[in-house]
A and B are shown apart, each in its own frame.
Chain A
Amino acid sequence: MKATVYVTIRQNVLDPQGKAVRDALGSLGFEEVKDVRIGKYMELELATEDRAAAEARVREMCEKLLANPVIEEYRFELA
Chain B
Amino acid sequence: METSRLTAPAGRTEHGPDGPQGPLMKFAVIVFPGSNCDVDCHKAVEDVLGQPVDYVWHTASDLSGYDCILLPGGFSYGDYLRCGAIARFAPVMDALVKAAEEGKYILGICNGFQILLEAGLLPGAMLRNRSLKFRCDQAALRVETTRTAFTGDYRKGEILSIPIAHGEGNYYCDEATLADLAAHDQIVFRYVGENPNGSLDDIAGICNRAGNVVGMMPHPERATSRLLGSEDGRRMFTSVLNAWRVKHGTAAVSGA
Chain A residues close to B by CB (< 8 Å): 9, 13-17, 20, 40, 65-66, 68, 70-71
B82 touches A68 (CB 8 A): yes
Are A71 and B172 interface neighbours, CB within 8 A? yes
Partner of A68, one of B89, B118, B132: B118
Q: How many B residues have CB within 8 A of the partner chain?
A: 21
Taking the complex as formed, is B124 at the interface, i.e. its CB lies under 8 A from any CB of chain A?
A: yes
CB A12 to nearest CB in B, in angstroms, measures 8
- Contacting pair B128 A16 (CB below 8 A): yes
Residues of B close to A71: CB separation below 8 A: 125, 127, 172
Task: Give Cα distance in the complex from A70 to B132, angstroms.
Answer: 20
Q: Which residues of B contact A (CB under 8 A)?
A: 81-82, 85-86, 89, 117-118, 123-125, 127-132, 170, 172-174, 198
CA distance A30 to B100 in the complex (A): 51
A15 cross-chain contacts in B, Cβ below 8 A: 127
A68-B118, A70-B172 given; A16·B81 CB < 8 A = no
Are A65 and B128 in contact, CB atoms less than 8 angstroms apart? no
Complex Cα spacing A5 to B13, Å:
50
Q: Do the beta carbons of B89 and A65 come within 8 Å of each other?
A: yes
